[in-house]
Structures are given as C-alpha cells and as structure tokens.
Amino acid sequence: MKTHAGLLLCLFWFTTISQAEPAAWYIWESKLNAHRICAQISPGEGWIKRLGPFKNAQCR
C-alpha cells in the first residue's frame, strides 16, 4: 500500500513541476551610478527593480 501512495505522490510532483514557467527577467538599476542590467534576481542590496517583467535575457 505504501508503494502505491509513494508512486502517486511522485506522479503528482512530476506533473506539477512540468507545468512551471521560467522566471521573468527585470531591468535593475544601481543606486550608486544608475547603471542598468538585465537579470532574473536582484544583483544585491544596492540595486532597484526598474522595468519588467520580460521573457528573455535581453529584457525585451
């Protein structure tokens, strides 16, 4: 009985992760010198999210 429950749990988990979308890209601006970069996550404390979300690494 435990094998069936484990198998069902694995199947549920695999179908859930297969529907995940890629993370969005954002334009981040430096508080220090207004330099802008495109990244999925914050480059650090000195950055502010300015534009986005975008679908690719070119932030277009």
pLDDT digits (tens, 9 = 90+) for 16-57: 666 778 899 999 999 999 999 999 999 999 999 999 999 999
In this structure, of 4-8, 11-15, 36-40, 44-48, the range with the lowest mean pLDDT score is 11-15
Report how far apart, in Å, the C-alpha atoms of 30 and of each of 15, 17, 21, 51 are.
39, 34, 28, 13
- Ranges of each domain in the chain: 21-60
- pLDDT value at 1 more than 60: no
The predicted structure's pLDDT at residue 45: 95
